[in-house]
Amino acid sequence: MLFKGSGVAIVTPFTNTGDIDFEALGELIEFQIKEGIDAIISIGTTGEAATLSIDEKLEVINFTIDKVNRRVPIIVGTGNNNTKDAVSFSKEVSELDVDGLLVVSPFYNKGTDTGLIEHFTEIANVSKVPVMLYSVPGRTGHNIPLNVVVELSKHKNICGIKDASGDLSYTMNIRNNTPDEFQIISGNDDLTVPMLAVGAEGVISVVANIFPKETSEMVHSFLNGDSKKSKELQLKLLPFIEAAFSEVSPVPIKYATHLLGFGTPELRLPLTVAEENVQQSIHQTLKNLNRL
């Protein structure tokens, strides 16, 4: 088990010239830990991994390792649609002082069921740390099929799945057909509490970049039996969740972290700074929730 509770899919701040803003990243990491986040997920989708070079990814990972200093688990996104590259990078990262790998299913070329099983198995075989599958059909064009998840759950080094399918039936079928120790982690901020109700044990959250304390409290309240408080927090955060996903992520959340003082709102192409209406929505919801 990599963590229980709320893990933040942390953004990668950039300067106005497009370089990585390590000062802002360090400040954001400190904010997350101070506010009670349970894990930090580095260079995932929210961290704009798709536009970081290998060298930049390793810089971010090593910086994060040093800054976190073992205070919370670090999980690193190492997925790729080229199995050879994914295996090589996953092996290299797993030999650093990290706690786990988050491996997205192959995108564009997708893979057959057999191909997916072999893809994830090769990565898990070389990794020195546990591997979490990541199913996000909105990004990859396909869900990891249930039978593939069930088969991979038997691998000793595959510990769970980040489920961003948005399909509670899929989530429930995973829970019914995998070992109890195989973790399900929500990948949808708007469905965290419903997913906890059917067997998830946490969330990897975009919104936690801004509301780490509230997101963690929402999950832990549910896990500790206080479903009423958990529900109230989910509903309280819903307006901001909707604003944070009103444009392709991480565009809105990058503007929100900027408003809180963690770097610029800049992204790397093909992503661009949030449109004016999205900026207004983010600003207003943060004011309504007393974050500004």
Q: What is the pLDDT of residue 1?
A: 80
57 is catalytic: no
Please count the other Cβ atoms lying within 10 Å of the Cβ belonging to residue 46. 23
Catalytic residue among 67, 162, 170, 255: 162
Is residue 170 annotated as part of the catalytic site, yes or no?
no
Tokens of 128: 């020195």
Helix (H/G/I), strand (E/B), else coil: 32? helix
From 57, 134, 170, 254, active-site residue: 134
Return d(Cα 74, Cα 106) in angstroms, integer. 22
- pLDDT in the model for residue 205: 98
pLDDT of the residue at 174: 98
Q: Which of 77, 5, 3, 11 is nearest to 46 (CA)?
A: 11
Give CA–CA dist 234/211, Å, rounded.
Answer: 11
What angle (nearest 5°) sits at the alpha carbon of residue 285, between those of residues 222 and 213?
35
Between CA 287 and CA 290, with CA 288 as vertex, the angle to 5 degrees is: 60
For 11, 31, 47, 131, the CA distances from 64, given in Å and listed in that order, are 12, 13, 12, 19
Task: List, in sequence order, every residue forming a beta bridge with 158; answer none if it has no partner.
Answer: 131
Low-confidence ranges of the chain (pLDDT < 50): none
- Return the residue matching tokens 């989708």: 45
Written as one string, the DSSP assignment of 92-118 is HHHTSS-SEEEEEPP-SS---HHHHHH
Question: Which amino acid appears at position 81 of this protein?
Answer: N
Predicted pLDDT at 40:
98
Asked if residue 187 lies in contact with residue 212, where contact means CB atoms within 8 angstroms, the answer is no
**pLDDT tens digits along 36-51:** 999 999 999 999 999 9
Indicate the SS3 state at residue 134. strand
